[in-house]
A and B are shown apart, each in its own frame.
Chain A
Amino acid sequence: MSGPSIHVERLVFAYPDGRQALFGVDFTIQRGERVALLGPNGAGKTTLVLHLNGILGSVAGGSGSGRIQIGGSDLHREHLPEVRRKVGLVFQDPDDQLFMPTVRDDVAFGPANLGLRGADLEARVHEALVQVGMQDHADVAPHHLSYGQRRRVAVATVLAMRPEVLVLDEPSSNLDPASRRELADILSGLDVTLLMITHDLPYALQLCERSLLMDDGRIVADGSTRDLLGDAHLMSAHRLELPYGFDPLSVPGPER
């Protein structure tokens, strides 16, 4: 089965409390692409990514309409377990993602739900922890880890499911510069389609060749990250600002 990794068409969604978050979202992401999802607070970015594995939206019984395809096939209730394996979601707050008593239990949670047991499960957990360099912390309780370590374990919990698409919600937020760089090294070494929500524009430029700009529940711009960040008019119209002294045209990016 081939086709684009993610295809979204005319997606509309309102929360049960009456707040409408998405007003018709369209975009397509091809296999192996690395895309940043930019936009001001409250633009609907997190709401959008929660649709990609069927947690929100009409598939989950919510109020909304539109069409979502993952790997070329429509999102259906019957496919949800398969879709949730393919699309790995890393939440913004690692404390939301790490809910089991120890790191090992947590990383094992996803693969165990896929049916892995015993030595297979053990190997899968180890593999994921090695990918993020946390293999020495398997028996630690999450609340004894530093924030940066928790973020890395959160990525491992998703990698343990061997996803085809990795979706991250603000991966660099609250990280110190060293943790931020370590995470970038981990992410750039992964062989997956990547969609990353971020307010950290240099991070977007460093890791993603393409960006989507979202505002008021719609996609308002779609293009190369460098072009988007270089468009001062577009940036200020959607409350985006580059860090002091940062020139997107003069730093190297992921394009080769």
Chain B
Amino acid sequence: MHVPDGFFDAPTSVATGLIAAGAVGFSLQRANREIRETGPALAGLTAAFVFAVQMVNFPVGAGTSGHLLGGALAAALVGPWSAVLVMSTVLLVQGLLFADGGLTALGTNITLMGLITVLVGYFVIRTVLQVLPKRVGSVVPATTLGALVSVPVAALAFTGLYAIGGAVDIPLGKLATAMVGWHILVGLGEAVITAAVLSAVVATRPDLVYAARHLQPDLVLVDADGNSSTVSPDRPIAAKPTGRTLGVGIAATLLVAGVVSLFASAHPDGLEFVGARLGFDGAAKDSAVAGSPLADYGVSGIGNAQVSGALAGIIGVLVTIAVGLTIAKVASLRSSRADKAA
């Protein structure tokens, strides 16, 4: 999954680098209050967890395995902005401490795995939560769906990036099909693990789930004389309704991703379908070697192989974010004006 140096051309790497830097800066600002309340330690531990879990492989089928990316999960647990920071931290440590993922490709990796999975995942979570009953438990199916969707979308973004900045022309329609098809399977695994993790957290510490903070029931407190009273639970960080901003951003992302993929399948195709299939299956099979979880970081790197497809979306995402942020800005200006008028 981790894109190495030189995989995409220089402009693409620079563009995604700018997107990543902007996203991290923006997230730092947005997550500032959360991090002051819960401490950087919590974010650091979440990052260490994501790092460790990315080393655990699960079987995807056809003798191959995948591993958790954790974007949607992190978004549900610590909120979207902290999650972007967590995922970026993981990628930075992998790049600098473990030489995994090129330094010039760091922006690409953060954009694909840190930004897209988190934002898409969180958008799905918020949307689904609107529909489901207002209970803490609803966050489990919502996040499961978020995890399922986020992985193929990241794969699509990778294809989009490849269309723009790939070093070699390969039939994009086939690339998109192979990437997305493959990552739907990986997304299924991601969804199952995400569901299990969230169920465990909701069962033991429901107050920890950021996406469900607003769904917590009130507390009953018994005082020293045995009288009970109802108090509202300690809610250090109420989930802020960032839904609209985020929603617009994601809608734009999906739109652009969709357009890119349409463009991709319309691309002239000089290759036999079977060849592509063979090629990608070959790539996939190799990774099956890495069966044992956490055997060694090097080996787990191979575990990434089958996922090797999943790379990053470049300019499409840049444009997407720019469009999304602009729309969100306009929307929030409008709504604040409307508030004043009312």
Contact = CB atoms under 8 A, between A and B. Distances in A.
Q: Touch between A and B in complex, CB under 8 Å?
A: yes
Nearest to B225: A24
A16 B210 CA distance: 13
Interface stretch (B100-108, B125-133, B214-222, B281-289): B214-222
Contact of A16 (B41, B223, B234): B234
Contacts of A17: 205-207, 233
Given A16-B234, A16-B235, A65 B223 contact: yes
Interface in A1-57: 10-12, 14-18, 20, 23-24
Given A61-B234, A61-B236, A63-B231, A14 B224 contact: no
A24 B216 CA distance: 25
Given A10-B224, A12-B222, A64-B221, A18 B233 contact: yes
B41 A99 contact: yes
Nearest to A217: B222
Interface string B223-245: 11100000101111000000000
A81 interface: no
Contacts of B224: 10-12, 23-24, 66
Nearest to B41: A99
A24 B223 contact: yes
Given A23-B224, A24-B224, A66-B224, A14 B236 contact: no
B234 A62 contact: yes
Contacts of B220: 14, 18, 20
A63 B205 CA distance: 16
A18 B41 contact: no
Given A62-B234, A66-B224, 19 more contacts: A12-B221, A12-B222, A14-B219, A14-B221, A15-B207, A16-B207, A16-B216, A16-B234, A16-B235, A17-B207, A17-B233, A18-B219, A20-B221, A20-B222, A24-B224, A61-B234, A63-B231, A63-B234, A64-B221
Interface of A: 10-12, 14-18, 20, 23-24, 61-66, 99
